[in-house]
Amino acid sequence: MNCAHCGNSCGNKSWMMIRTQSDDVHHLCSYICYNTSRSNYPPRLTEVLNRGDFNYLFPNIEPPREIKFQFLNHEDLLQMSENEICAYYDHLDMTVMNPVEYEVHLEQEENDRRTREIEEEFYLSSEEDDY
C-alpha cells in the first residue's frame, strides 16, 4: 500500500483509509499527507474505513506511561550503597523535570546534610563533656 498523497509505503497498515467520491480507496501514511490533500476528501470524514483507529480526527494512541522520578531524602541515601547512590544521581541528572522542583530538592538535601552534621557535632561534644 502506498500513500495516495506522497507515494511512500504505508507499511502493513495505513494511517487512514478513506473512500473517495469516485468510490476508490485511498491510503494515507500520516496526518500531514491527509491535511495537505484534504480538499480531495469529504469534509465530514464519513467515508473513513478505519474509523476504529480514530478518536474524532486523531488516531487512538495509548499515551506512554509516565514514570515519575522519586526524589530520595538524605536518610534514604544513607541506606544505599555507593553504586546505588551513583546510579540515583545519574538518573537524577538525566531526568527532565521542573527546575523549581529540582532546586527545592537540592536545597532540602543540603538542609538534611547540614542537620545531620550539626546533630553529629552535638552528640560528639556532649560525649566529651561527660568525661
pLDDT surpasses 70 at 18: yes
pLDDT digits (tens, 9 = 90+) for 36-61: 888 887 776 677 887 777 665 555 55
Prediction pTM value: 0.40
Residue 119 CB contacts under 8 Å (≥ 6 apart), including other chains? none
The one-letter code for the residue type at 51 is: R
b/e map 66-100, b = 16+ CB within 10 Å: eeebebbeeeeeeeeeeeeeeebeeeeeeeeeeee
Domain ranges in the chain are 16-59, 74-129
Q: How far apart are CA 78 and CA 90, in angstroms?
A: 17
